[in-house]
Amino acid sequence: MPTYACDLADVREAAKRIAGIVHRTPVMTSETLDQLAGRKLFFKCENLQKVGAFKYRGATNAVRKLSDAEAARGVVTHSSGNHAQALALAARVRGIPAYIVMPKTAPAVKKAAVEGYGGIVTLCEPNLSAREETAARLVKETGATLIPPFDYPDVIAGQGTAALELLEDVPDLDAVVVQVGGGGQIAGWCIAGKGVNPRLRVFGAEPFGADDAARSKAAGKWIPQTAPNTIADGLLTSTGELTWPVIRDRVEAVFTVTDDEIRSTMRLVWERMKLIVEPSGVVGTAVVLTAAFKSLAGLKKVGLVFSGGNVSLDKLYW
């Protein structure tokens, strides 16, 4: 058996570590979506998580696992998305500093949100090398611990706790369909889900305009993201050195959907389920409504995750 960044025991320990700090989010259903998909669907509502996304699980696990001496020096990350807010809040709850590197081009509303959670923001040029160099400088200056957004064992284990909860609530699932960006979420779900039920089938979901995991699966080797272009802005990142091996070995297939399919699914969820879910958060749901996924046999009960609900109400997504 191959070894990965974490295992089921790590996910179970993470669940204990974050209990009472992170929301145990509800699992919801919809007869309308069941009829459209041709099977029973169960939605893990991480859009209702603190900071509005599943990222709070991994960030909290990573922060709570630090020793008191490590924690006192704080944590560092580079992110302009949900991980930045998640780490800032997780650090504030523990009473330690969080140094967040964000690109100068990040929307002011995101910078304000990170600062609102207590994060100390450092702006940099809008490219990966600048972000990494700035984060490394802050680590050197402060002695803080770097907590990457997805390619980090404690983050992956924390994200897997949502799958544990879902399988406790719905133990007889045949499959789960999970969005893929950097891969921290789906890696955690694979490790937790297949650890609890080895027969559970795991499928990935990506936008057509950011399909590096699908292309990597098809080629049988890791292919980095090049020029992503999709409304699902939370899924623009390439999978990582720790997440790709789990996807390679444990994910049965990765399906892609167009931005138009994402928009129509997002509108459907808002109107029928009365839930605010961001574009990235409905990609798995868009997949289960496609003819390609409907053609799969033996899937009566399918679990999905509404992975985030951070939308701009000033933006007309459709």
Check residue 231 and give its pLDDT.
93
Check residue 1 and give its pLDDT.
62
**Residue 118 identity (one-letter amino acid):** G
**Does the annotation mark 80 as catalytic?**
yes
- The CATH code of the domain at 56-146 is 3.40.50.1100
The structure tokens listed for 82 are 């949900």
Catalytic residue among 80, 216, 238, 307: 80
Instruction: Tell me whether strands 175-179 and 145-146 are parallel, antiparallel or unpaired.
Output: unpaired
CATH topology of domain 8-53+152-306: Rossmann fold (3.40.50)
Check residue 205 and give its pLDDT.
98
The full 3-state SS of the chain, as one line of letters, equals: CCCCCCCHHHHHHHHHHHECCECCCCEECCHHHHHHHCCEEEEEEHHHCHHHECHHHHHHHHHHHCCHHHHHCCEEEECCCHHHHHHHHHHHHHCCCEEEEEECCCCHHHHHHHHHCCCEEEEECCCHHHHHHHHHHHHHHHCCEECCCCCCHHHHHHHHHHHHHHHHHCCCCCEEEEECCCCHHHHHHHHHHHHHCCCCEEEEEEEHHHCHHHHHHHHCCCCCCCCCCCCCHHHCCCCCCCHHHHHHHHCCEEEEECHHHHHHHHHHHHHHHCCCCCHHHHHHHHHHCCHHHHCCCCCCEEEEEECECCCCCCCCCC
Domains 8-53+152-306 and 56-146 share a fold: yes
Catalytic residue among 30, 44, 50, 55: 55
Residues of the chain with pLDDT under 70: 1
Question: 207-262 pLDDT, tens per residue?
Answer: 999 999 999 999 999 998 888 899 998 898 899 999 999 999 999 999 999 999 99
**Does the annotation mark 194 as catalytic?**
no
Q: Residue ranges of the domains in the chain?
A: 8-53+152-306, 56-146
